[in-house]
Amino acid sequence: MSTIAIVGAGVMGSAMCFPARDRGHEIFLIGSPLDRGIIDSVRASGLHPKLNATLPQGIESFHHEAMDRAVDGADLIVFGVSSAGIGWAIDQLCENLKKPAPVVLLTKGMYPEANTLTPLPDHVAREVKRRTGMVLDVAGIGGPCIAGELALRRHTGTVVAANNLSFAQRLCTMFETGYYHPRSSTDMIGVEACAAFKNFFAIAVGWAGSNHNTASMLFDQAIIEMLAITRALGGRETSVWGMAGAGDLYVTSLAGRNSRLGNHLGRGLTYGEIVNGPMQGETIEGADLGIAAAGTLRAMMKEGKLSTSTLPLTRALLAALIENKPLDLPWVDFHR
């Protein structure tokens, strides 16, 4: 049995309590500053109000002010925050970690550099080393995983990616249950690029609404462009065709905030009208990624690292998000 500290008590971080606790691990669930109500509810009754599920017995829950006690001596630290909260989580780790401990990210995203995108696990490891001098093993988990289904212990397959294969395999062993089926990979770049960009491209698939013919065409173009981006970053094609890419894009396109944003765009609203109207206050990770990575993606196109002609859907999505234009899909440029 290990002690696992999960930082972030949102739906995904909290859902990971189920396989972790079912494996017999001791679980410390630590809320972010946004999770105070969730932690209070879990403490009072065990009920997670957003998951609408009672967490397994034996979980200790903490407000973020007690971060030092929660992470002290942990055998593994899990980041369950949103991509917007990754900076806060890194700050907390650097301030409260007294000795090296392995970290695994449920957080999906890529860190934008001047002319490339860095996987978030590599960014976390680099920042912790820069600030504290500690060298950490940091992995990421990708693949289709709807938190509500995991909390119901429905069969779920994910990909655990790490630069060190034995570390990825060890994490798989720690979490594997009769319903949670992780598999290991050393394609950190590919898995993380897919985990991030599937949210971005799910916006486009959501544009189609209930028009399945249209949605399938957009899904296909999304895979083509996800493959181009992954290749350019140095990832493997197999991750795009597998659970981390096509599998996760399929699930994300069925429902959720990214898909709903796309559906609103399909009705003619602009991004600004949507986030100040029907989706006000909601975290939309695909949009956050597009806005954060737009400068890098455009720089890579300008430098020839990415072919502009092969990314018509990407360019249309960036225009909609950055320039607040209607999502004008260039159908004649698809599948070329």
pLDDT tens-digit map of 190-230 = 999 999 999 999 999 999 998 999 999 999 999 999 999 99
- Mean of per-residue pLDDT scores for the chain: 95
Rounded to whole angstroms, how far apart are CA atoms 63 and 33?
8
Rounded to whole angstroms, how far apart are CA atoms 36 and 34?
6
Q: What is the pLDDT of residue 84?
A: 87
Confidence of residue 50 (pLDDT cuts 50, 70, 90): very high
Q: What is the pLDDT of residue 109?
A: 86
Query: Do 30 and 7 meet the contact criterion of CB atoms below 8 Å apart?
Result: yes
- Residue labelled with tokens 């899990």: 78
Task: For residue 161, list its beta bridge partners.
Answer: 140, 185
Cα-flanking dihedrals φ and ψ of residue 271, to 5°?
-60, -45
Note the pLDDT tens digit of each residue in 170-200.
999 999 999 999 999 999 999 999 999 999 9
Nearest to 60 by CA among 27, 82, 12: 27
Work out the percent of the chain whose per-residue pLDDT is above 70.
100
Q: What is the pLDDT of residue 314?
A: 97
Note the pLDDT tens digit of each residue in 132-178.
999 999 999 999 999 999 999 999 999 999 999 999 999 999 999 99
- Residue labelled with tokens 């109207």: 277
In the chain, domain spans: 3-186, 189-333
Task: For residue 254, list its beta bridge partners.
Answer: none
Q: Which residues contact 249 (CB under 8 A, 6 or more apart)?
A: 194, 198, 201, 202, 205, 219, 222, 223, 226
Confidence of residue 70 (pLDDT cuts 50, 70, 90): confident
Q: How far lies 86's CA from each of 110, 232, 301, 305, 319, in Å?
A: 11, 24, 27, 27, 25
Confidence of residue 73 (pLDDT cuts 50, 70, 90): confident
Yes or no: is domain 3-186 CATH 3.10.520.10?
no
Q: What is the pLDDT of residue 283?
A: 87
Q: Is the pLDDT of residue 251 over 90?
A: yes
Rounded to whole angstroms, how far apart are CA atoms 281 and 284?
9
Q: What is the pLDDT of residue 233?
A: 96
Q: Mapped to the 3 state alphabet, what secondary structure does the chain carry?
A: CCEEEEECCCHHHHHCHHHHHHCCCEEEEECCCCCHHHHHHHHHHCEECCCCEECCCCCEEECHHHHHHHHCCCCEEEECCCHHHHHHHHHHHHHHCCCCCCEEECCCCEEECCCCEEEHHHHHHHHHHHHHCCCCCEEEEECCCCHHHHHCCCCEEEEEECCCHHHHHHHHHHHCCCCEEEEEECCHHHHHHHHHHHHHHHHHHHHCCCCHHHHHHHHHHHHHHHHHHHHHHCCCHHHHHCHHHHHHHHHHHHCCHHHHHHHHHHCCCCHHHHHCCCCCCCCCHHHHHHHHHHHHHHHHHHCCCCCHHHCHHHHHHHHHHHCCCCCCCCHHHCCC
Protein fold of 189-333: N-(1-d-carboxylethyl)-l-norvaline Dehydrogenase; domain 2 (1.10.1040)
Query: Do 79 and 105 meet the contact criterion of CB atoms below 8 Å apart?
Result: yes
Q: What is the pLDDT of residue 255?
A: 85
Nearest to 230 by CA among 142, 319, 126, 321: 142
A 10 A CB-CB count for 13 gives: 25
- Residue labelled with tokens 């798989």: 172
Average pLDDT over residues 89-106: 95
